[in-house]
Amino acid sequence: MISTLGLSKRYGDTIALDGVDLSVSPGSIYGLAGPNGAGKTTLLAILAGLRRHTSGDVRIDARPVEVAVLPDTPRFDPWLTGREVVILSQSLVDSEGPPGRIDEVLRETGLADAEGRRIGGYSRGMLQRLGIAATLVGSPSLILLDEPASALDPQGRREVLDLIARLRGTATILFSSHILADVQEVCDTVGILHEGRLLFQGPLRNLLVGSAVPRYVVRLRGDADAVAKRLRKVSWISSAEAGSDGVLTLEVASLANAEERLAKALAEAKAVVVSYAPEEVSLERAFLELTGGRKTL
Amino acid sequence: MSLWTLEFLRLRRTSRWLILGGVFVVFGLMGPLAARYMEQLLDLAGGETAGITIEFPDPVPADGIIQYINNAVQVGTLVAVIVAAGALAFDSIPEMGVFLRTRVPSVWRILVPRLVVPSVAITVAFVLGVVAAWYETAVLLGPLDVGAMFAGTTLGVLFFAFVVAVVAAVAQWVRSMLATVMVSLIVLVTLPILGIADVIDRWLPTRLGAALADLVGEGSVGDYLGPAIVTLLAMPLLLGLAAKGARRREA
């Protein structure tokens, strides 16, 4: 649906995007993750045709009217009603669209009760949902969402993420966020953008399994520090860190190695074990390992 | 809802039509009154201070229109610039600009309603002011030359169309609403300063604003042919500049 080849963007001496090869498959929810300033908004703006790229190629398999864009903080004339914004949006992109579609998207976004109110009185979350309603009303085949939930309170964020999740299968979605938990929750494919470079791109599970160092979390009763000290001498355990709450985090050569030999190693280290299991890898950890923990999210 | 309806709603719901109409009609009603009763008004304000007596010649019908034009062109231009900038500086809030730009591929489709609707509103307000001033002048001071009134009103309308075209060109290059208003006003104020040189003054579009006041007095339509031609030539150039600015994507 979207492919870029060697896409670069410079602002004077500053490199905003550096040879980005983006590949977004049709029907996927692609999460473009990265810290603020990574180049996400610039990349989306180029794909939306709002900015020029300096070099490289961009290919989008959709007509311009089939591409919908939602900026991070959508704003509309405050004297319009919510319904009027959606009607206007439909008239601009799909003037022959069914009138019932307006009611449908207002209902989907939870704005049916507020549709007649002027949007000057809408909350931030309502504006975001209105932006999504105005985006969906034209039934686009490609939706570009720039940080759609980042500035919302927990409830607003939940509503927007649920909405995006419900769009699965109806359109291709490219969704940028610096909140990795949001990307991990709704996206099936992920791209990690850092300092203008795409460090990883692929299915989310590949990133979580492939990039992260395997770890085990062991919950102990008693002196975790002493156990950690003994385990550091084991050849296939590269690090052992004891937490204040009796939790020991072990970096191991491989999960298979640990499954086979960890019980014995713990017994030899005289550990009183409450539980142990492989650490569930988060996107945040995978991201930090990919970027060498260079930038705090 | 179309982009045309959006502009009508902008005028109506933000009360801009009321401000526009109010400014021109109030000046239209006040101008002839002030001309007719200027002497009495100054007497009431203490016109014989320090032993100085100011004697006014008897007011003539042209004075009613001159008073209207003196006030309406200055304040009316300011209001017209603000109203036009409110519609034309659509990138001043980038998220609003994104809404339009990602849905409407043709900049002309965005620009035309934003040019035409404010222009029509300003024209209607100016003409209503002229009608009010004309009526009250006829009642208080006497009849006016009909031909001069029509010619002067047409030139005034052309002047305000030029004002909107200037705002359109500025708005697409400076983008912010405040900067659009300020730069447009600077352009419109600077042009008459260039008119210090008589050879330039004869061609300046800004002369058209006061044409009505001149024509109901001693002036002739021929004096305004030059500015009218320059204005008619400048407007497409200004609109072309606006379209070029609107098409410009952030580099």
Q: What confidence score (pLDDT) does residue B53 get?
A: 66
How does the average pLDDT of chain A come out, rounded?
A: 85
Q: What confidence score (pLDDT) does residue B51 get?
A: 63
Cβ contacts (< 8 Å) between A84 and chain B: which residues? 1, 9
Which among A20, A9, A29 has a CA at the least distance from the CA of A171?
Answer: A29
Cβ contacts (< 8 Å) between A88 and chain B: which residues? 1, 3, 6
Q: If you measure CA to CA, which chain B residue comes closest to A83?
A: B1
Cβ contacts (< 8 Å) between A80 and chain B: which residues? 6, 9
Q: Across the interface, do B93 and A75 touch by the CB < 8 Å criterion? A: yes
Q: What confidence score (pLDDT) does residue A194 get?
A: 87
Q: What confidence score (pLDDT) does residue B160 get?
A: 95
Residue A205 has pLDDT above 80, yes or no: no
Query: Alpha carbon B192 to chain centroid distance?
Result: 14
Residue B247 near chain A (CB below 8 Å): no
Q: Give the mutation candidate from A10, A41, A66, A75 for the B interface (greatest B CB count, under 10 A).
A: A75
What's the rounded mean pLDDT across residues A207-216?
69
The lowest-confidence range among A9-23, A175-189, B36-50, B213-227 is B36-50
- Tell me: the pLDDT tens digits for B111-121? 999 999 999 99
Backbone angles phi, psi at A94, to 5 degrees: -150, 70
Residue B6 has pLDDT above 90, yes or no: yes
Cβ contacts (< 8 Å) between A50 and chain B: which residues? 98, 101-102, 249-250
Out of A48, A75, A91, the one facing B102 most closely (by C-beta) is: A48
Q: What confidence score (pLDDT) does residue B233 get?
A: 95
Q: How far is B218 from chain A (nearest CA, A)?
A: 48
- d(C-alpha B216, C-alpha B41), whole Å: 24
- d(C-alpha A257, C-alpha A7), whole Å: 41
Tokens describing residue B24: 């021109």
Q: What confidence score (pLDDT) does residue A297 get?
A: 42
What's the rounded mean pLDDT across residues B162-178?
93
Q: What confidence score (pLDDT) does residue A296 get?
A: 41
Residue A169's identity, in one-letter code, is: G
Q: Give the mutation candidate from A81, A87, A88, A115 for the B interface (greatest B CB count, under 10 A).
A: A88
Cβ contacts (< 8 Å) between B87 and chain A: which residues? none
Residue spans per domain, chain A: 2-209, 213-280
Q: How far is A77 from chain B (nearest CA, A)?
A: 8
Which among A31, A61, A26 has a CA at the least distance from the CA of A47?
Answer: A61
Q: What confidence score (pLDDT) does residue B52 get?
A: 66
Residue B85 has pLDDT above 70, yes or no: yes
Out of B13, B102, B249, the one facing A69 most closely (by C-beta) is: B102
Q: Across the interface, do B95 and A74 touch by the CB < 8 Å criterion? A: yes
- Other CB atoms within a 10 A radius of the CB of residue B105 amount to 12
Task: Return the percentage of chain B with pLDDT > 90, whole number.
Answer: 52
Q: What confidence score (pLDDT) does residue A172 get?
A: 92
Structure confidence at residue A173 as a pLDDT band (50, 70, 90): very high
Structure confidence at residue B13 as a pLDDT band (50, 70, 90): very high
Tokens describing residue A18: 């550096």
Out of A49, A76, A79, the one facing B96 most closely (by C-beta) is: A76
Q: Give the mutation candidate from A43, A50, A128 for the B interface (greatest B CB count, under 10 A).
A: A50
Query: Alpha carbon A254 to chain centroid distance?
Result: 27
Structure confidence at residue B46 as a pLDDT band (50, 70, 90): low
Whether B99 contacts A74, CB under 8 Å: yes
Query: Alpha carbon A45 to chain centroid distance?
Result: 17
Q: Across the interface, do A74 and B99 touch by the CB < 8 Å criterion? A: yes
Residue A79 near chain B (CB below 8 Å): yes
Q: Across the interface, do A71 and B95 touch by the CB < 8 Å criterion? A: yes
Q: Across the interface, do B102 and A50 touch by the CB < 8 Å criterion? A: yes
Residue B106 near chain A (CB below 8 Å): no
Whether A1 contacts A24, CB under 8 Å: yes
Q: Chain A, 109-148: which have a CB under 8 Å from a chain B CB?
A: 134, 138
Q: How far is A94 from chain B (nearest CA, A)?
A: 10
Task: Return the percentage of chain B with pLDDT > 70, whole number.
Answer: 94
Q: What confidence score (pLDDT) does residue B156 get?
A: 94
Residue B247 has pLDDT above 90, yes or no: no
Q: What confidence score (pLDDT) does residue B111 get?
A: 92
Out of B1, B98, B105, the one facing A84 most closely (by C-beta) is: B1
Residue A63 near chain B (CB below 8 Å): no
Residue A80 near chain B (CB below 8 Å): yes
Q: Across the interface, do B102 and A73 touch by the CB < 8 Å criterion? A: no
Backbone angles phi, psi at B249, to 5 degrees: -95, 155
- d(C-alpha A275, C-alpha B148), whole Å: 99
Q: Across the interface, do B102 and A79 touch by the CB < 8 Å criterion? A: no
The lowest-confidence range among A32-46, A133-147, A274-288 is A274-288
Residue A125 has pLDDT above 70, yes or no: yes
Instruction: Determine the topology of domain A2-209 in CATH.
Output: Rossmann fold (3.40.50)
Residue A292 has pLDDT above 90, yes or no: no
Q: Across the interface, do B95 and A75 touch by the CB < 8 Å criterion? A: yes
Residue B147 near chain A (CB below 8 Å): no
Instruction: Determine the topology of domain A213-280 in CATH.
Output: Alpha-Beta Plaits (3.30.70)
- The four Cα atoms B107, B108, B114, B115 give a dihedral, to 10 degrees, of 130
Model pTM above 0.80: no
- Tell me: the pLDDT tens digits for A216-273? 889 998 888 889 999 999 988 988 998 878 889 888 888 778 888 989 999 998 889 9
More reliable by pLDDT, B163 or A203: B163
- Tell me: the pLDDT tens digits for A148-167? 887 777 777 888 888 888 88
Cβ contacts (< 8 Å) between A75 and chain B: which residues? 93, 95-96, 99
How does the average pLDDT of chain B come out, rounded?
A: 88
Helices then strands, each counted (H, E), chain A = 10, 14
Q: What confidence score (pLDDT) does residue A279 get?
A: 76
Structure confidence at residue B251 as a pLDDT band (50, 70, 90): very low
Residue A294 has pLDDT above 70, yes or no: no
